[in-house]
Amino acid sequence: MAKRKRESIVRRDTIEWGGKEIEVDIFDARVVLGSGEELESIEELLIEEEIEKAIQVTLKEIESIAGKYPNKEKDIRYCYEVGKVLQFVDTKGFTERKGLIWHRMAYDLRPDLFGGSKKNANEAKRYPETIYHLGKQSKEAIKRATFDQWYEILKFKRIYKQKDDELLDQILAECESKNLSGIQLRRRIKELQASKSKVK
């Protein structure tokens, strides 16, 4: 059985040049002559290049959106608009690499567009992942909760993977009627999920 190749993307790395450490963008894919995998490696390089071009176009689009929102980090309208733009990972067939794409966009290239600089890449990927899922919601639903509430709601995969609209509507009604904090909202979502499971 052939081993599955690791998904890759252009990434930022630090190299030593002339006695100094500098940051450079490098392709993950490598073409090793005589390996028997030259064609696959070249195909992978072309995919990485296609993804990088799509990322650059998307970042320009997001930069344009950011100009309308001075306090953008938790502005639900900004997050929704950018979330719509981030759907390019699905439309262009890059869904399997979205974690790598979020890393590239929010950690390597433009953290200012995605909630600011983070200490590590995994933390940096959370913001674009959240707003990507926000972009899949209806405009009416988005207005019913704050960014922080949506951040908690979208931690529950059942809500967006199974498209459980009834459960989401119940949760959003709770968000509108009560000012639930993160812990309270998480607890309430678990209660609603449990009561819904008993009914089935």
Ordered by start, the domain boundaries in the chain are 142-200
Encode pLDDT of 155-175 as tens digits.
998 887 767 788 999 999 999
With a CB cutoff of 8 Å and minimum separation 6, the contacts of 188 are 171, 174, 180
Determine the number of helices (DSSP H) and then strands (DSSP E) in the chain: 10, 2
How far does CA 103 lie from the centroid of its chain?
Answer: 8
Predicted local distance difference test score (pLDDT) of residue 100:
93
Burial of 193 (0-12, 13-18, 19+ CB in 10 A): middle
Residues 61-105: pLDDT tens digits?
Answer: 999 999 999 889 899 999 999 999 999 999 999 999 999 999 999
Q: In the predicted model, what is the mean pLDDT of the chain? A: 87
Q: Which of 145, 104, 99 is nearest to 126 (CA)?
A: 99
Prediction pTM value = 0.84
End-to-end CA distance of the chain: 42
